[in-house]
Structure 1
Amino acid sequence: MKKYIYSYLFCFFGILTFGYAQQSKLKKAEENFNNHSYALAITTYEALVAKGYESDVIYKNLGDANFNNGDYNKAAEWYGKLFALKTDAIGSEYYFRYAQSLKSTEDYKKSDVYMKKFQKIKGTDSRAQKFEANTEYLELIKAKTKRFTLKKVSVNSKNSEFAPSLYQGNLVFASARDTGLLVNNIHKWTNKAYLNLYQADSTSEDGVFRTPEVFSKQLNSKTHESSTAFTKDGTTVYFTRNNSKDGNFVEDEAGLSRLKIYRASLENGVWGNVIELPFNTNEYSTAHPSLSADEKTLYFASDMPPSLGASDIFKVAIHEDGTFGTPENLGNTINTEARETFPFIAESGDLYFSSDGHPGLGGLDVYTVSARTGAVSNVGEPINSKEDDFSIILDEEKLKGFFASNRTGGMGDDDIYAFTFEKIDEEPEAFVSQINGSIIDKLTGELIPLGKVSVYDYANNNLFEITADDQGKFSSPIEFPSKKYRFVAEVEGYNDETVYLITPLGTVDETLEDLNFIIAMEKGDKSSVIGADLVEILKLKTIFFNTNSSYLNPDAFPELDKVVAYMKEFPSARVEVGSHSDSRDSDRYNLWLSDRRAKSTVSYIVSMGISENRITGTGYGETLLVNKCVNDAPCSEAEHALNRRSEFIVFQN
């Protein structure tokens, strides 16, 4: 999805020696990038790279420019080059953006690797937490019943069409098709025409529309217009437009023309009386209005305080006299630190929106929030794809709807698709029953007695623990339908084993005898697994360091002796010591200090008889904090101390 669309989505948002010409080009590229002229910035940066110039700034800006323009394949390419530099100047957000971009290349495995790194750096970020609670997200999405059938519609052009809505039997939508009617009607973000509102009358039920025409000359201007929501009587429309005056953009200090929601009324067949809503300001954007069934609540997207991310979903009451209440953020179950946008509220009260902060297939995915349970779920394929899928609307009575996507196979940058869908009956009431399981040896198939099984729910909460009987069998209470559980089995002399269970939909036989499932375990110490952290395996007490010190505390010696004993027991194992600092002092100093700490730890282990070619040490400074205590964050001494730690990672058996 192209960036002038992101204008509505709220992406709102080594030393090189150059000759004079290259310095001038770099300056111009940075100027274009900072002014959000991403198409021009990409061209100039790519020309510099072609001449052999590289730096973290160039790769970051190229990645960001393509990410903001919705070209995730190119973004993944440039972010990949950024990480290949192995620079210490990569911020945590780039781990997320790289992971997100990789999904559009369908490299989900590598994407998950970088999400785990992002999770390790920013464990308090809701995107990291949602990923941790949904590590099997891809399988869950792919397993969804494909209840949607897509149809192409004839309103699309080689440019961008999106944000469909229905008005008196017509399809109203935003389009960047260049009518040639306006002078300089080109947006520097993408070098494309500005967005205007169009309408098309359907001539049949198979997706054929008459030639689109301008919806309203009174509403279209020299800036962007998009995202309409009409009252049922057809006399009032809410829509999105750039902040403007006398038809010209009004920019803030950052050079952004913020978005605002306007209301217009129909009088004598002409749209007029255009007013902006009172909660608009020049400091943040509001966009993509959607009306509740009773027309008493307006849903919209905004980056207004207290937004969690680039844009959040809000709602505001509409009073009988036409005034408005105070906007309310819908909270962190729905909103994340990324983009939540294009809300649509169905007649049933179910909320639909697009997001790239929740686990998905790539780009923006469409999600729904159940009015009954409040649960957020990905609507699945074929509505969602590896690219951007957004601005969905649907008619629950006629079982049809529309949405936009920039997926491969369309006519232009973004295309509108029609769809029909099957109605799903109200979910049955949840009930609790039993599931039977057994623990076996993976190699021999023999039952393993008295194993411990820990049961976790969808949110990764430890619910309870069960001990298998002397026959290796156990039973567990679980809830139906469509609940996700994680069973973790632990047996002395075996590697831990994890099994996931999703309880089925629909009516289920409460005896559940057919749901007997097996946890198969492999013999061996789990510490032999490459990537295992001996802190967890050996139950080590955390090895702390005093502030600004690389000297080991005496209470660390017994813990390090356990590492020594392990390495003697497994003579082929090789271990990397990862040493970390808190965020106080400069980044450079912290890298130096943590490197000293790693070498101090390695030195002790070597002194206890372990060959120096079996253990290495790396200092990570403050790049992998375990909590929110980043630079200048108000944290206690105890919180800072948690970041002054060492890890022992097995990297070869």
Structure 2
Amino acid sequence: MSAKSQQVNSMQLDLEMNKAKLTFDIKKYNTAAGLYKKLYGKIRDEALQNDMLYMVAESYRRANNFKQAYEWYDKLVNTKYPDVRIIYSYGLLLKNFERYEEANRQFGDYLFEVPGDKNALREIKACAEAQMWKANPKRFTVKEVAALNTEFSDYSPFYVKGNLIWSSSRNEATGNEIFEWTGQKCSDFFTASPSGNSWSKPGNLKGGINTNFNEGAGWMDSTGSVFYFTQCNGTDGKGMNCKIYVSYKENETWVTPRPLPFCSDSFSVGHPAMSADGKRLFFASDMPGGFGEKDIYYIPYNNLKDTWGTPVNLGERANTNEDDMFPHAATDGSIYFASKGWPGMGGLDLYKTQDSAGTFKQAQNLQSPINSGGDDFGISFVPTAEINKDEDAIAYFCSNRQGGKGDDDIYAITNKPFIFKVIGKVLDKESGLPLPLATITLMDSSNNTLFSIKSTENGAFTAELPLKLISFIHAQKDKYFSSAAIQLNPVGLTKDSTVEVSFSLDAIPTEEYEFTLNGIYYDVDKADIRPDAAKVLDSLVIILTQNPGISIELGSHTDSRAAEDYNLKLSQKRAQSCVDYLTKKGIAKDRLTAVGYGETRLVNDCADGVDCTEEQHQENRRTTFRVLSTDYKKKR
């Protein structure tokens, strides 16, 4: 190649590099990444090629394209690039993917190069806390609202009057302008309402709010007639900063929005959120005098005069040297916001603070599962009066965490109920050995079955029980008597609880085995069931109810002191009295057989003519039962 050709190629390369740098400097990061990738493929000088590699990686990182940024940074850290800051940035990306131990090592390596660096020390602390928070999540369930999300950015949801309003860069957004920071369309406001277990089809917010350029992060009053929102790039798309606009609804149409008077062309103001009393508007801004990149401020507002005061920074307990954005003013006075500057789980995390006598309290991380390794921001709470069921959402927010549908996605937060768990074992009563495949059944107070499970090979079982419901649990197994039911009462539970139970089951004996029912006595020459005998038979009712498959024989026995024929007839009447009593208590008659044995089955030597004590005669006067079958089925 001639010297002249080399000179032309060098000049062309310089022009392309200048164009890429200018694009990066004006925050068109996604476009800049594409330009630097082309340069990276053209350049052969190793040092300059590494410079291009860094710019590709950093452009994607600033565009919040974590996947691409990680891939390019992963290449970069294996080169001889001289700037040690890449180690720190690579650690941040590892955090985005919740690879906390690897990230911690990167921050440690960076500290070796830059001893005492406050940001690296903060991130090492954050990695430890993130792992702890992930292992011990708060009592919330976070679920993607899939019906509202697209492959593009869906962010900053705001709940008002039974509707969700959010910003989206989906294909249906107004116009064809591409926002070169992200490579997606400029965002518009969309809205949808709950419909059964899903949502209505999302539609553009009607009434003249949306333009060809970026609208996002809004706040609407409870009547749905006042709307503050963020507009970036100006109405012509040439602006570099964001401003807060306000519009009022008249006859179902939003009047022409106007910027608030404290906005400026020299800095950005956005993400409005009015306090519940309407006296303070919270917002994010990079105006001069802050603590870092963007800070949270509030400005007093006089609704009667429609006048604004002077912006007030929330202070160093809320704001950091990084981005602090997307405030939300809850009805209890708490201020929720997103920040990169406090110890967190990844990118932007959600935090909470509150005004205390003019000073805002130390920011508190909302932790897992609300926060993640991705960017978590733009939270909005549902009014308590509109939360009707335990499974209803209490808030919505957005996140670009792993597992979502696209870029930023909308998620719902619900309260996770306390867990009431039962663990236990089923054992053979005689041997103490575990009984596998026993059936454990949970019933409600009306004897409706809530669930049935089987014990393991070790006789063990575990189950999560319904809350706010008194229930009864028992165990049963083929060829064993069922256990008595144990009452479980989780009503009023204020923390996760576990109850341990153990069931020891008696094997059902063969037909030859006879049980004596102690405590059944009769008046002389009578067969009536006395009150004391009724109590004993009631216990038999429980056994038969708990074991609906067994049929039994009830036997009545006398001593030998009357005539044999007389004793036989009297014992038959007494056995039948027992059967009749059980039948009246709901036991099927065909499960019961009454047999009077008279004096034919004495248990001692007190036969006719043998002199015995009263105690010895009493041993023979008894009521017995034995199991005849275990496969009884109720007749239809």
Contact 2:154 / 2:169 at 8 angstroms: preserved in 1?
yes
Cα distance in 2 for partners of 1:130, 1:40 equals: 32
Structure 2 regions of 5+ residues with no counterpart? Answer: 1-6, 388-392, 419-493, 496-636
**1:332 paired residue number:** 316
Per the TM alignment, residue 200 of structure 1 is displaced from its structure 2 partner at its CA by 1.0
What does 1:549-568 align with in structure 2 at a 5 Å threshold? none
Per the TM alignment, residue 74 of structure 1 is displaced from its structure 2 partner at its CA by 3.0
Contact 1:127 / 1:337 at 8 angstroms: preserved in 2?
no
**2:168 paired residue number:** 175
Cα gap change, 1:273 to 1:39, in 2 (>3 Å): closer
**1:249 paired residue number:** 237
TM-score by length of 1: 0.56
Identify the match of residue 99 of structure 1 among 91, 111, 127. 91
Work out whether 1:272 is the aligned partner of 2:244.
no
**1:356 paired residue number:** 340
CA deviation profile, 1:325-381 (whole Å, cap 9, x unmatched): 111111222222211111112112222111222222212222222567923222122
CA deviation profile, 1:76-119 (whole Å, cap 9, x unmatched): 343454444445445x5x55433211212433234224434656
What does 1:425-440 align with in structure 2 at a 5 Å threshold? none
TM-score by length of 2: 0.57
What does 1:572-611 align with in structure 2 at a 5 Å threshold? none
Work out whether 1:315 is the aligned partner of 2:312.
no
**1:343 paired residue number:** 327
Identify the match of residue 37 of structure 1 among 14, 23, 28. 28
Contact 1:126 / 1:332 at 8 angstroms: preserved in 2?
no
Cα gap change, 1:137 to 1:152, in 2 (>3 Å): closer
SS across alignment from 1:47: helix
Per the TM alignment, residue 73 of structure 1 is displaced from its structure 2 partner at its CA by 3.6
Cα gap change, 1:69 to 1:138, in 2 (>3 Å): same
**1:567 paired residue number:** none
Cα gap change, 1:37 to 1:370, in 2 (>3 Å): closer
Cα distance in 2 for partners of 1:395, 1:331 equals: 28
Cα distance in 2 for partners of 1:400, 1:238 equals: 23
Aligned residue identity for 2:287: M
Task: Work out which of the two has the higher radius of gyration on C-alpha atoms and give 1 or 2.
Answer: 2
Cα gap change, 1:332 to 1:375, in 2 (>3 Å): closer
**1:420 paired residue number:** 414
Identify the match of residue 228 of structure 1 among 218, 233, 237. 218
Aligned residue identity for 1:149: T
Task: Report the RMSD for the aligned CA atoms in angstroms.
Answer: 3.1
CA deviation profile, 1:125-146 (whole Å, cap 9, x unmatched): 7645644766732244224443
**1:400 paired residue number:** 394
Work out whether 1:237 is the aligned partner of 2:221.
no
SS across alignment from 2:255: strand
Cα gap change, 1:68 to 1:323, in 2 (>3 Å): same
**2:372 paired residue number:** 385
Cα distance in 2 for partners of 1:72, 1:334 equals: 26
Aligned residue identity for 2:315: G
Aligned residues: 399
Cα distance in 2 for partners of 1:349, 1:411 equals: 33
**2:361 paired residue number:** 374
**2:179 paired residue number:** 187
Contact 1:126 / 1:337 at 8 angstroms: preserved in 2?
no
Cα distance in 1 for partners of 2:173, 2:285 equals: 31
CA deviation profile, 1:611-644 (whole Å, cap 9, x unmatched): xxxxxxxxxxxxxxxxxxxxxxxxxxxxxxxxxx
Per the TM alignment, residue 67 of structure 1 is displaced from its structure 2 partner at its CA by 0.9
Identify the match of residue 150 of structure 2 among 157, 160, 175. 157
Cα distance in 2 for partners of 1:152, 1:381 equals: 15
Aligned residue identity for 1:303: D
Contact 1:72 / 1:363 at 8 angstroms: preserved in 2?
no
CA deviation profile, 1:580-602 (whole Å, cap 9, x unmatched): xxxxxxxxxxxxxxxxxxxxxxx
SS across alignment from 1:42: helix
Aligned residue identity for 1:271: W
Structure 1 regions of 5+ residues with no counterpart? Answer: 1-15, 252-256, 425-505, 508-653
Contact 2:98 / 2:373 at 8 angstroms: preserved in 1?
yes
SS across alignment from 2:407: coil
- Where relative contact order (Cα < 8 A, 6+ residues apart) is larger, the structure is 1
Aligned residue identity for 1:312: D
Identify the match of residue 218 of structure 1 among 199, 205, 208. 208
Identify the match of residue 288 of structure 1 among 255, 259, 271. 271
Aligned residue identity for 2:290: S
What does 1:522-541 align with in structure 2 at a 5 Å threshold? none
Identify the match of residue 189 of structure 2 among 169, 193, 197. 197
Cα distance in 2 for partners of 1:330, 1:95 equals: 32
Contact 1:340 / 1:356 at 8 angstroms: preserved in 2?
yes
Per the TM alignment, residue 220 of structure 1 is displaced from its structure 2 partner at its CA by 1.0
Aligned residue identity for 1:177: R
Per the TM alignment, residue 162 of structure 1 is displaced from its structure 2 partner at its CA by 0.9
Per the TM alignment, residue 159 of structure 1 is displaced from its structure 2 partner at its CA by 1.8
Contact 2:148 / 2:199 at 8 angstroms: preserved in 1?
yes
Cα distance in 1 for partners of 2:121, 2:309 equals: 32
Per the TM alignment, residue 165 of structure 1 is displaced from its structure 2 partner at its CA by 0.7
Per the TM alignment, residue 65 of structure 1 is displaced from its structure 2 partner at its CA by 0.8
Per the TM alignment, residue 30 of structure 1 is displaced from its structure 2 partner at its CA by 2.7
Cα gap change, 1:143 to 1:295, in 2 (>3 Å): farther
